[in-house]
Structure 1
Amino acid sequence: MSSTAILAGPPRIALVGNPNCGKTALFNALTGARQKVANYPGVTVERKVGEFLSPAGARVQIIDLPGTYSLRARSPDEEVTRDVVLGRFEHETPPDVMVCVADATNLRLHLRLVLELRKLGRPIILALNMMDVAEARGCRVDAGALSAALGVPVVPTVAIRRHGVRGLLDQIDRTVALASGSSAALSGVAPCGWSEPTASDLRAYHREVEDVLAAALRDAGRPSLATRRIDAALLHPAIGLPFLFLVLFLMFQAVFAWAAWPMDMIDAGLTWFQGTVGAALPDGLLKSLVTDGIIAGVGSVLIFLPQILVLFFFILILESTGYMARAAFLLDRLMGGVGLHGRAFIPLLSSFACAVPGIMAARTIENRTDRLATIMIAPLMTCSARLPVYTLIIAAFVPNRTMLGGLVGLQGLVMFTLYAAGILSALAVAFVLKRTVFKGAREPLLMELPSYRLPSARDVLLGLFERARIFLARAGTVIFAIMILLWFLGTFPAAPDGATGPAIDYSFAGMLGHALAPLLAPIGFTWQIAIALVPGMAAREVAVAALGTVYALSETGDALSGSLASVLAADWSLPTALSLLAWFIFAPQCVSTLSVVKRETNSWFWMLAMVAYMTLLAYGAAFVTFRVASALLGG
Structure 2
Amino acid sequence: MSAAPKRVCFVGNPNAGKTTLFNLLTGARAKVGNYPGITVDRRSARLVLPGAIEAEAVDTPGTYSLTARSPEESVAADTVLADGAERPAAIVLVVDATTLRRGLYFGTQVLDTGHPSVVALTMMDEAKKLGIRVDEKALAASLGVPVVGMVANRGEGKDDLLRELAAILRDPPERAPASVPEELMGAVDRVRGALPGEDGPAKTTRALWALLSVGDDELTSVSASVRSAVAEAREAAAANGVDLDESIVTSRYARVDACLKKAVEVPAKPVRPMTERIDDVLVHPVWGLLVFAVVMAVVFQALFSWAEPMIGLLESGIDATKDSIKTTLPPGPFTDLLSNGVVAGVGNVIVFVPQIALLFVFITTLEDSGYLARVAFVIDRVMGGVGLHGRAFVPMLSGFACAIPAVMATRTIESKKDRIITMLVVPLVSCSARLPVYVLVTATVFAPELTVGPLSVGAVVLLAMYAMSIGFAVIAAAVLRRTVLKGPKPALVLELPPYRRPSLRNIAVATWERTRRFLLDAGTVILALTIVLWGLLSYPKDEAVATKYEALRADAAQIENETERTDHLASLDAAENGENLRGSAGGRIGHAIEPALEPLGFDWRLGVGIVGAFAAREVFVSTLGIVFDIGEADETSEGLRAALRDAKRPSGEPLMTPLVGIALMTFFVLACQCMSTIAVVRRESGSWKWALLMLGYMTTLAYVVTLLVYQGGKALGLS
Closer, same or farther: CA 624–404 of 1 in aligned 2, 3 Å: closer
1:529 aligned to 2:631? Answer: no
State the shift of 1:201 in Å.
2.6
2-structure distance, mates of 1:570, 1:57 = 67
In 2, the alpha carbon distance for the partners of 1:218 and 1:610 equals 54
- 2:665 pairs with 1:581: yes
In structure 2, what is the Cα distance between the partners aligned to 1:242 and 1:36? 29
Q: Which residue in the other structure is 1:565 paired with?
A: 641
Aligned to 1:149, the other structure's residue is in SS state helix
**Which of residues 462, 486, 497 in structure 1 aligns to 2:544?**
497
Q: Helix, strand or coil: the match of 1:101?
A: strand
* Matched-pair contact (CA < 8 Å) for 1:98–1:122: yes
The one of 145, 151, 154 equivalent to 1:161 is 154
1:79 aligned residue: 74
Verify the 8 A CA contact 1:482 1:535 in the aligned structure 2: yes
Matched, 1:14 2:17: no
Count of aligned pairs between the two proteins: 615
**Are positions 1:436 and 2:483 aligned together?**
yes
Query: 2:296: which partner in 1?
Result: 248
Cα distance in 2, alignment partners of residues 587 and 212 from structure 1:
56
Residue identity opposite 1:444 in structure 2? A
* Corresponding letter in the other structure for 2:598: A
Match of 1:462 in 2: 509
> What are the Cα deviations for residues 48-73 of structure 1, in whole angstroms up to 9, with x where unaligned?
33335445455543222111111111
Q: Is the 8 A contact 2:630 2:639 kept in 1?
A: no
1:469 CA displacement: 1.8
Q: 1:129 aligns with which of 122, 130, 151?
A: 122
How does 1:504-515 map onto structure 2 within 5 Å? Answer: 504-515=581-592
2:171 partner SS = helix
Deviation at 1:163, TM superposition (A): 4.2
Q: Give yes or no for contact 1:25–1:159 (8 Å, CA) kept in 2.
A: yes
Distance 2:698 2:11 in 1: 38
Show CA shifts across 1:556-595 (max 9, x none).
7668963212211222321332221110111124111111
For 1:271 and 1:180, locate their aligned partners in 2 and report how far apart those are by CA, in whole Å. Answer: 66
| Contact 1:35–1:49 (CA under 8 A) maintained in structure 2 | no
Distance 1:366 1:528, change over 3 A: same
Name the counterpart of 1:41.
Answer: none
Q: Which digits, 9 at most, give the CA deviation of each residue in 1:98-129, with x for residues without a partner?
A: 21211100001111221111122222221101
- Looking at structure 2, the residues matched to 253 and 46 of structure 1 have their Cα atoms a distance apart, in angstroms, of 35
Q: How far does the alpha carbon of each residue in 1:520-547 deviate from its partner, in whole angstroms, 9 at most, with x for none?
A: 1221222222222223122111111222
Residue 349 (structure 1) shift: 1.5
User: For residues 10-66 of structure 1, what are the alpha-carbon distances to aligned partners after superposition, in whole Å with 9 as ceiling and x for unaligned?
Assistant: 4432221111112222233334456699xxxxxx95443333544545554322211
Q: What's the counterpart of residue 303 of structure 1? A: 351
Q: Select between 412-421 and 474-483 the one with higher mean Cα deviation.
A: 474-483
The CA RMSD over aligned residues, in Å, is 2.8
Question: By how many angstroms is 1:93 displaced?
Answer: 2.9
Aligned partner (choices 111, 116, 136) of residue 118 of structure 1: 111
For the 8 Å contact 1:551–1:557, the answer to whether it is kept is: no
% identity of equivalent residues:
42
With over 3 angstroms needed to count, the CA separation of the structure-2 counterparts of 1:181 and 1:114, relative to structure 1, is closer
Matched to 1:564, the amino acid is: L
Instruction: Supply the distance in 2 between the matched residues of 1:308 and 1:569 (Cα, whole angstroms).
Output: 25
In 2, Cα distance between equivalents of 1:482 and 1:624: 31
SS at 1:382's partner residue? Answer: coil
Of 457-466 and 416-425, more deviation after overlay is shown by: 457-466
C-alpha distance in 2 between matches for 1:154 and 1:353: 38
Partner Cα distance (1:294, 1:557) in 2: 16
> Is contact 2:19–2:30 with CA below 8 Å preserved after alignment?
no
Q: 1:539 to 1:48 in 2, by over 3 A?
A: farther
Indicate how the Cα distance of structure 1 residues 475 and 180 shifts in structure 2: closer, same or farther if over 3 A, else same.
Answer: farther
Residues 1:427 and 2:427 aligned together? no
Equivalent residue, structure 1, for 2:20: 25
Q: Which runs of 5+ in 2 are unaligned?
A: 33-38, 176-196, 213-244, 547-575, 648-654
Alignment of 1:604-615 (within 5 A): 604-615=688-699
C-alpha deviation, 1:394, in angstroms = 0.8
Which residues of 2 match residues 235-384 of structure 1 at below 5 A?
235-384=283-432
- Rounded to whole Å, the distance in 1 between the matches of 2:381 and 2:469 is 19
d(CA) in 2 for partners of 1:601, 1:478 = 25
CA distance change for structure 1 residues 252 and 51 in 2, over 3 Å: closer, same or farther? farther
**Is the contact between residue 387 and residue 490 of structure 2 (CA under 8 Å) also seen in structure 1?**
no
SS of equivalent residue, structure 1 residue 271: helix
Distance 1:54 1:477 in 2: 38
The CA distance in 2 between the partners of 1:135 and 1:417, in whole Å, is 45
| Aligned 1:444-483 pairs, distance under 5 A | 444-483=491-530
How many Å apart are 1:224 and its aligned residue? 6.0
Structure 2 residue 674 is the aligned partner of structure 1 residue 626: no
CA contact (8 A) 1:49 1:62 kept: yes
- Contact 1:36–1:49 (8 Å) recurs in 2: no
Aligned pair in 2 of structure 1 residues 488, 336: CA closer, same or farther (>3 Å)?
Answer: same
Distance 1:485 1:223, change over 3 A: farther
Consecutive unaligned residues in structure 1, runs of 5 or more: 38-43, 183-187
Displacement of 1:169 in angstroms is 2.6
How many angstroms does 1:395 deviate by? 1.2
Q: Is the 8 A contact 1:139 1:220 kept in 2?
A: yes
CA distance in 2, matches of 1:507, 1:255: 38
How much has 1:285 moved relative to structure 2? Answer: 1.7
What residue identity is the alignment partner of 1:137?
A: L
Could you say which residue in structure 1 is the equivalent of 2:686?
Answer: 602
Summarize the Cα distance change of 1:174–1:414 in structure 2 as closer, same or farther, 3 Å threshold.
same
Cα deviation for residue 396 of structure 1 reads 0.9
- In structure 1, what residue type is equivalent to 2:18? K
Moved more, 101-110 or 118-127: 118-127
User: What secondary structure sits across from 2:472 in the alignment?
Assistant: helix
**Which whole-Å CA distance do the structure 2 matches of 1:180 and 1:219 have between them?**
32
Cα separation, partners in 2 of 1:564 and 1:48, compared to 1, 3 Å:
farther
CA apart distance, 1:175: 3.0
1:617 matches 2:707? no
Report the AA paired with residue 672 of structure 2: P
Change (3 A) 1:48 1:312: farther
Between 75-84 and 194-203, report the one with greater CA deviation: 194-203
CA contact (8 A) 1:127 1:156 kept: yes
Which residue, 601, 615, 638 being the options, matches 1:538? 615
The residue type equivalent to 2:81 in the other structure is L
**Secondary structure of 2:383's aligned partner:** helix
Q: Distance in 1 between matches of 2:436 and 2:580?
A: 27
Partner of 1:98, secondary structure, is strand
| Alignment partners' CA distance in 2, 1:335 and 1:35 | 29
Could you tell me whether the CA contact under 8 Å between 1:155 and 1:167 is conserved in 2?
A: yes
Tell me the CA shift for residue 321 of structure 1: 1.5
Q: How far off its partner does 1:508 sit? A: 2.3
Compare 609-618 and 560-569 and name the one that shifted more. Answer: 560-569
Tell me the amino acid that sits aligned with residue 79 of structure 1. Answer: S
**Separation (CA, whole Å) in 1 of partners of 2:410 and 2:73:** 12
Larger CA Rg, structure 1 vs 2: 2
Q: Offset at 1:293?
A: 1.4
Question: What's the secondary structure of 1:537's corresponding residue?
Answer: coil
How many Å separate the matches in 2 of 1:475 and 1:165? 38
